[in-house]
Amino acid sequence: MKHTKVKDLLNSTTTLQEVNAKGWVRTFRNNQFIALNDGSTINNIQCVVDFENTPEETLKRITTGAAVSVTGTLVESKGAGQKYEIQVTKLEILGDSDAEKFPMQPKKHSLEFLRENAHLRVRTNAFGAIMRVRSVLSFAVHNYFQQRGFVYVNTPIITGSDAEGAGEMFKVTALPFDNTPRTEDGKVNYKEDFFGKETNLTVSGQLEGETFAMALGQIYTFGPTFRAENSNTSRHLAEFWMIEPEVAFNNLDDNMDLAEDFIQYVIKYALDHCGDDLKFLEGRLLEEEKSKPQAERSEMALLEKLNFVLENNFKRVSYTEAIDILRDSTPNKKKKFNYIINEWGADLQSEHERYLVEKHFKCPVILFDYPANIKAFYMRLNEDGKTVRAMDILFPGIGEIVGGSEREERYDVLIEKMKALEIDEEELSWYLDTRRFGSATHAGFGLGFERLVLFVTGMTNIRDVIPFPRTPGNAEF
Ligand code: 4AD
Ligand code: MG
């Protein structure tokens, strides 16, 4: 007999004569009630065991974590909390679970403990919910772009370029570490390496994406991205997933419109398709906040916060305006910021971004027109000669969730910028071809997928929204 998903059983509109469910035991109460979960939903189905006619030996093996198959009748439940339950007629233990040793006991575990058990934490309510929401969000990303005629492009993971120019790359090499081939002047001879040149894991698919946008019009990438920045924060991963749309003939305003519409769409999609999971995560968050001092608690519950983002326009503010606000802010005057804002030109730290979003504007903010020298080489220079058509989207509790720009489409201006930054023209000759042959205005952005999942699930550490996080000092599993 084929088993039915717990989700479908719970959503049944009638009682059923014979059903079979397979899953893992969450709890076993009074030698009679199994709470069974199969991952199809946050909700467990209650399975009532006929303990009088079940051998003692079998009852002992119904332990938390065990895999079981139950066959029986789907009946209306007399207990509170569920409409249907299974009156078990046949129970089979598929896989035993040592009750003493199983790490996911039915009690509250710290997130640190769960991270150390990332292969088992997905068996808890919270992580099951997070991973289902993550899956639905990635489907929503594809849906959004596919419905609008964007072409999905798989940009290379191994590249020779450093798109962001920050030098935070993981090298890819097949050279031996001992006895490394050297050139005459003692440098590593990459000509003898696998690709015949120096290569690294990609920090962004943007540059390759731009070449496709200049032929296909509207494209997006969605793939793994790597950064060797040694920042051990709750917002950074060494391996994360990034979504990068790129659109020919779009300017910065179009780019902001696209980003805002896109983010609102995927959040709405999650609200429409992950109701049970989000409700559970909201409850979890409320519980967690009880232990925090009043001042640190968020003003809105999770669902309210998500709806707020849907219903309110993102506030668009220039970098220059933002600097004025920050310079005059109380934490700046009282020297509460770690980095005091004195002058125009300062790079914004996450404490400043969060002040703007959480304290000053109290809504998502799009900052634009940043100083040229704190942004990447490919951004379009404004008429003032000192700012570029950059935009960062800042979210409450997250800080930067999106970074993007209108691109420098003028060959001469771009070359000059590259010279000033000592970026090898030869190496990026293919990129410059987009400006040599039919160049046009275009723009795009990058959304950090895990930062989006953080926001939607209300979690606070990015390590808790990716199955197996990679961070400095940690590549377990
Ligand atoms: O602002 P970033 O560096 O922009 C780019 O890479 C551009 N090439 C994007 C583009 O215009 N096509 O990164 C974009 C986003 C950030 O806003 C952030 O959400 C996320 O990627 N991000 C990270 N997420 C997790 N861990 C990290 N170490 C991240 N670094 C960036
Ligand atoms: Mg950025």
Question: Is residue 446 lining ligand 1, measured as CB closer than 6 Å?
Answer: yes
Are 367 and 394 within 8 A, CB to CB?
A: yes
Residues whose CB is less than 8 angstroms from the CB of residue 108 and which lie 6 or more positions away in sequence, other chains included: none
Rounded mean pLDDT of 235-239? 97
Expressed in angstroms and rounded, the spacing between residue 420 Cα and the centre of ligand 1 is 24
pLDDT digits (tens, 9 = 90+) for 28-79: 999 999 999 999 999 999 999 999 999 999 999 999 999 999 999 999 998 8
Question: Is residue 305 lining ligand 1, measured as CB closer than 6 Å?
Answer: no
pLDDT at 79: 81
Expressed in angstroms and rounded, the spacing between residue 271 Cα and the centre of ligand 2 is 27
> Cα–Cα distance between 92 and 71 in angstroms, integer?
9
Residue having the nearest C-alpha atom to atom 19 of ligand 1? 448
Expressed in angstroms and rounded, the spacing between residue 184 Cα and the centre of ligand 1 is 38
Question: Is residue 450 lining ligand 1, measured as CB closer than 6 Å?
Answer: yes
User: Which ligand sits closest to the CA of 393?
Assistant: 1
Statement: residue 99 has pLDDT above 90: no
Interstrand relation of 171-172 and 45-48 (parallel, antiparallel or unpaired):
unpaired
Candidates 252, 392, 445, 451: which one to mutate for ligand 1, based on the most atoms within 8 Å of Cβ? 451
Report, in angstroms and rounded to the nearest whole number, the Rg of the chain calculated over CA atoms. Answer: 27
Closest CA to 461 of 197, 3, 36, 127: 127
pLDDT digits (tens, 9 = 90+) for 319-359: 999 999 999 999 999 999 999 999 999 999 999 999 999 99
Coil, helix or strand at residue 109: coil
Rounded mean pLDDT of 244-265? 98
pLDDT at 231: 84
> Cα–Cα distance between 267 and 310 in angstroms, integer?
8
User: Which ligand sits closest to the CA of 401?
Assistant: 1
pLDDT at 299: 80
CA-403 nearest atom, ligand 1:
1
Confidence category of residue 163, pLDDT binned at 50, 70, 90: confident
In three state form, how does the secondary structure of 388-421 look? EEEEEEEECCCEEEEEEEEECCCHHHHHHHHHHC
Is the pTM higher than 0.85? The answer reads: yes
pLDDT digits (tens, 9 = 90+) for 274-328: 999 999 999 999 998 888 888 778 889 999 999 999 999 999 999 999 999 999 9
- Where is average pLDDT lowest: 69-83, 117-131, 257-271, 452-466? 69-83
pLDDT digits (tens, 9 = 90+) for 416-474: 999 999 999 999 999 999 999 999 999 999 999 999 999 999 999 999 999 999 999 99
User: Max alpha carbon distance in the chain (Å)?
Assistant: 85
> Cα–Cα distance between 125 and 172 in angstroms, integer?
38
Expressed in angstroms and rounded, the spacing between residue 180 Cα and the centre of ligand 2 is 35
pLDDT at 80: 81
Helix (H) or strand (E) holding 121: none
pLDDT at 230: 85
pLDDT digits (tens, 9 = 90+) for 377-422: 999 999 999 999 999 999 999 999 999 999 999 999 999 999 999 9
Which structure tokens are listed for 371?
């100083």
Expressed in angstroms and rounded, the spacing between residue 369 Cα and the centre of ligand 2 is 13
Rounded mean pLDDT of 170-194? 95
CA-242 nearest atom, ligand 1:
21
Expressed in angstroms and rounded, the spacing between residue 1 Cα and the centre of ligand 1 is 48
Rounded mean pLDDT of 361-366? 96
Candidates 242, 394, 408, 454: which one to mutate for ligand 1, based on the most atoms within 8 Å of Cβ? 242
Statement: residue 165 has pLDDT above 90: no
Question: Is residue 243 lining ligand 1, measured as CB closer than 6 Å?
Answer: no
Statement: residue 166 has pLDDT above 90: no
Q: List the shell of residues around ion ligand 2, using CB closer than 5 Å.
A: 403
Expressed in angstroms and rounded, the spacing between residue 447 Cα and the centre of ligand 1 is 6
